Amino acid sequence: QVQLVQSGPEVKKPGASVKVSCKASGYTFSNHGISWVRQAPGQGLEWMGWITVNSGSSIYAQNFLGRVTLTADTSTSTVFLEMRSLTSDDTAIYYCARKPRTAAVFSDWGQGTLVTVSS
């Protein structure tokens, strides 16, 4: 079955960077894009961007342009989210999610990674 397993919780200071991983299994990795969605405490869902794994090309939401980089390692079926210049507003759970071929929805999700930004 499809599984997306994310790296563990992170605690960072303001201004730092964080890199979160999402390891995929149970499907042909290169056939599906991966999106990242975040959820601040008690808040709703916010789409951050997605990566087309077979080409490595990415699309980012305007709020994250220039501050977030998505990469993929096809040899390990892993996608990475790197976010720079963290502030307390970036404290959230970060989810990776698989995009099916037919629509830009999120059919399978990782378990989430809590990133806490605090001085």
Partner 1 sequence: DIQMTQSPSSLSASVGDRVTITCRASQDISDSLAWYQQKSEKAPKLLLSGSSRLESGVPSRFSGSGSGTEYSLTITSLQPEDFASYYCQQYFTIPLSFGGGTKVEI
Residues that bind partner 1 (CB under 8 A): 35, 37, 44-47, 59, 61-62, 95, 97, 103-107, 109-112
Is the CB of 27 or the CB of 47 nearer to partner 1? 47
CB of 45 to partner 1, least distance (A): 4
Is the CB of 3 or the CB of 74 nearer to partner 1? 3
Is the CB of 11 or the CB of 61 nearer to partner 1? 61
The rounded distance, in Å, linking the Cα atoms of 39 and 14 is: 18
Rounded CA Rg of the chain:
13
Question: Amino acid identity of 41?
Answer: P
Answer left, alpha or beta for residue 11, where phi above 0 means left and psi between -120 and 50 means alpha. Answer: beta
